[in-house]
């Protein structure tokens, strides 16, 4: 900084304020300092600056599956909003594994991130709860709530979404409706199934546990679950898959079995990933407002950085049923 100050003809204090953005300086001084830094190929020491300011201007995001379009879209929205506020994002993919999630928690805290945005891996237990509670930085949960951890979270009306998906199928005359769930222990998955059960109950339809298949939110489990469900006798006339990836797996299995969607089998997904609109036929689904989730999450983090004593805030966004081409009235007779 001394060399920069000498070349720019300004004080070291002015250079320090410019680099650390700690005090306004005139435009003419900024231009002199920038030119001097360019001529000298000067790069500020980010670590030293973060130690002085007690901020690294970095945020850790841990997702269970970075390849899942839903998580990718939410993460992109968060990163865009934070980048606009001079924050960098460090992304970790837990791959749905508790040990890997805990390792990323450790690595990111060692890197002194200013905050953490976390999506639960499911069935986390007391170990993850204790790890999250012990962090001395802002933590925001999105999509999936970790019971017992009092932090900010942003999620959607999962119960309502599961209810609306099932109610739509009931309104089309379907009475034997199967449900492909996500992993056990995930609040989002359990809530969607709760909505499914509620819709059946309100329509006075019997709940057949044989029509509920536990998947893992991946294409393959949707495919495997559909193969099993569609071999039941009588087979279901409709399937509610608790995310779009599994719904696409259902449609692949139905095609292989010679079952036509939607005339012989109606399918509803959950998320509204880009593939849902462009699949053939286009997927009826429950849409989550991914961009809004990301923006609210980023804004909540920025508020936390201004005042870490704020009480935890829970933001629950509405889902929306999007009726496309994979649902149709039930046939009066089924084989």
Residues 278 and 226 in one domain: yes
Does a structural domain hold residue 86?
Answer: yes
Residues 177 and 282 in one domain: yes
User: 232 or 5, which is more confident?
Assistant: 232
CA pair distance 273, 246, nearest whole angstrom: 12
Residues 257 and 162 in one domain: yes
Q: How many domains does the structure of the chain reveal?
A: 3
CA pair distance 78, 83, nearest whole angstrom: 8
Query: Would you list the DSSP string of 202-230?
Result: HTT----GGGEEE--SSHHHHHHHHHHHT
Work out the percent of the chain whose per-residue pLDDT is above 70. Answer: 94
Residues 136 and 147 in one domain: yes
Please, are residues 195 and 165 in contact by the beta-carbon 8 Å criterion?
A: yes
- For the chain, list the strands marked E by DSSP: 58-63, 88-93, 115-118, 139-142, 152-156, 177-181, 212-214, 238-241, 266-271, 284-287, 314-317, 320-322
Residues 30 and 64 in one domain: no
Does a structural domain hold residue 332?
Answer: no
Does a structural domain hold residue 162?
Answer: yes
End-to-end Cα separation, the chain, in angstroms = 81
Residues 90 and 237 in one domain: no
Strand partners, 321: 286
Running DSSP on this structure, what letter comes out for residue 298? H
Residues 248 and 197 in one domain: yes
Residue 95, domain extent: 55-156+289-318
Distances (CA, A) of 55 to 20, 59, 217, 306: 11, 10, 36, 12
CA pair distance 250, 255, nearest whole angstrom: 9
Does a structural domain hold residue 303?
Answer: yes
Q: Read off the pLDDT of residues 33-46 as tens digits, 9 standing for 90 and up.
A: 888 888 878 776 65
| The pLDDT of residue 1 is above 50 | yes
Round the CA-based radius of gyration of the chain to a whole number and report it.
Answer: 25
Which of 288, 308, 326 is the C-terminal boundary of a domain? 288
Q: Read off the pLDDT of residues 312-322 as tens digits, 9 standing for 90 and up.
A: 899 999 999 99
Residues 213 and 310 in one domain: no
Q: Which residues contact 120 (CB under 8 A, 6 or more apart)?
A: 64, 128, 141, 143, 144, 145, 146, 186, 187
Residues 256 and 234 in one domain: yes
Task: Write down the pLDDT at residue 46.
Answer: 53
Does a structural domain hold residue 120?
Answer: yes
Using CA atoms in the order 325, 67, 87, 149, what is the torsion angle rounded to 10 degrees?
90
Q: Read off the pLDDT of residues 100-149 as tens digits, 9 standing for 90 and up.
A: 988 998 899 888 899 999 887 765 567 777 787 788 888 899 987 777 77
Does a structural domain hold residue 329?
Answer: no
Does a structural domain hold residue 282?
Answer: yes
Neighbour tally for 19: CB within 10 Å: 16
Residues 275 and 163 in one domain: yes
Q: Read off the pLDDT of residues 178-203 as tens digits, 9 standing for 90 and up.
A: 999 998 888 899 999 999 999 999 99
Residues 40 and 150 in one domain: no
Q: Which residues contact 41 (CB under 8 A, 6 or more apart)?
A: none
Q: Which of 43-47, 64-68, 76-80, 175-179 has the lowest mean pLDDT?
A: 43-47
Residues 293 and 152 in one domain: yes
Q: What is the CB-side half-sphere exposure of residue 176 using CA atoms within 13 A?
A: 17
Distances (CA, A) of 19 to 8, 43, 59, 228, 305: 14, 10, 21, 62, 20
Q: What is the pTM of this model?
A: 0.82
At 258, which CATH number? 3.40.50.2300
Q: Read off the pLDDT of residues 225-281 as tens digits, 9 standing for 90 and up.
A: 999 999 999 999 999 999 999 999 999 999 999 999 999 999 999 999 999 999 999
Does a structural domain hold residue 212?
Answer: yes
């Amino acid at each position: 900084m001394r060399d920069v100050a000498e070349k720019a003809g300004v004080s070291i204090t002015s250079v320090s304020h410019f680099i650390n953005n700690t005090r306004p300086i005139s435009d003419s001084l900024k231009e002199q300092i920038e030119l001097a830094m360019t001529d000298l190929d000067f790069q500020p020491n980010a670590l030293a600056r973060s130690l002085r300011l007690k901020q690294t201007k970095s945020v850790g995001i841990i997702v269970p599956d970075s390849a899942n379009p839903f998580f990718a879209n939410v993460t992109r929205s968060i990163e865009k909003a934070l980048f606009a506020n001079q924050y960098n994002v460090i992304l970790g993919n837990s791959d749905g594994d508790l040990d890997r999630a805990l390792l990323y928690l450790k690595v990111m805290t060692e890197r002194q991130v200013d905050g953490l945005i976390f999506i639960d891996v499911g069935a986390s237990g007391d170990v993850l709860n204790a790890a999250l509670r012990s962090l001395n930085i802002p933590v925001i949960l999105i999509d999936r709530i970790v019971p017992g951890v009092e932090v900010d979270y942003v999620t959607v009306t999962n119960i309502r979404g599961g209810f609306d998906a099932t109610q739509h199928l009931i309104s089309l005359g379907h009475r034997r409706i199967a449900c492909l769930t996500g992993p056990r222990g995930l609040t989002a998955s359990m809530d969607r199934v709760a909505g499914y059960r509620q819709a059946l109950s309100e329509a006075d339809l019997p709940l057949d546990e044989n029509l509920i298949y536990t998947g893992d939110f991946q294409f393959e489990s949707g495919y495997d679950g559909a193969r099993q469900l569609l071999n039941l006798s009588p087979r279901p006339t409709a399937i509610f898959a608790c995310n779009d990836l599994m719904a696409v797996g259902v449609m692949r299995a139905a095609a292989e079995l010679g079952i036509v969607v939607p005339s012989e089998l109606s399918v509803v997904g959950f998320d509204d990933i880009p593939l849902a609109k462009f699949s053939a036929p286009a997927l009826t689904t429950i849409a989550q407002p991914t961009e809004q989730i990301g923006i609210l999450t980023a804004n909540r983090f920025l508020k936390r950085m201004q005042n870490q004593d704020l009480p935890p805030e829970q933001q629950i966004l509405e889902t929306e049923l999007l009726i496309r081409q994979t649902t149709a009235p039930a046939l009066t007779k089924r084989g």
